[in-house]
Amino acid sequence: MSGRAWAWVLFTTGVVVLGAGAGFFVWLGLSKGNQLAGVLSLFVSVVGLGATTAGLVMARRNSLPAQAITRSTVGGNAEVFRGVRGDITLTRSPASSVPAPTPSGATTTTPADTPVAADQVITDSGIAGSTRVVDDVTGNVKIDE
């Protein structure tokens, strides 16, 4: 079923449920309907709070790191930096004579579907050159090879 058809099905279902609920509360009467709505809203709020908490926990658990090279094939060097507030000087090595790795030859350090808890990572990637991962550096940085 297409997305447009699903939208119509959901819209129609919502209108029917809303109409049935309104009819039920009219049939029940204003006073009893108000009491029942208060009790139902308590349970809906508790369920909503639980669903929100579960969603936040799952989002943190399944989120990728802030800086990541994941499931990649890199034919040269792979470098990941963060927060360097001073001068930085990088001297690249001559072009690598190592051929680019094939996806089937990628090295695996973590299963592809498992999120990593670290903040800066290189995982499930084949890298022909060197790798550098540098975190929060407050001074001047000079990296020579």
Which residues, in sequence order, are CB contacts of 56 under 8 Å at separation 6+?
Answer: none
42 plus 110 within the same structural domain: no
Closest CA to 95 of 130, 125, 69: 130
Q: How high is the pLDDT of residue 145?
A: 59
Residue numbers in the chain where pLDDT is lower than 50: 105-117
The residue to which tokens 């609920």 are assigned: 21
81 plus 106 within the same structural domain: yes
Q: How high is the pLDDT of residue 65?
A: 55
Range of the domain at 48: 3-62
Q: How high is the pLDDT of residue 19?
A: 94
113 plus 53 within the same structural domain: no
49 plus 72 within the same structural domain: no
Which of 18, 34, 62 is the last residue in one of the domains? 62
Q: How high is the pLDDT of residue 15?
A: 96
Which of 43, 62, 81 is the last residue in one of the domains? 62
71 plus 138 within the same structural domain: yes
Helical residues (DSSP H) of the chain, grouped into ranges: 3-28, 30-62
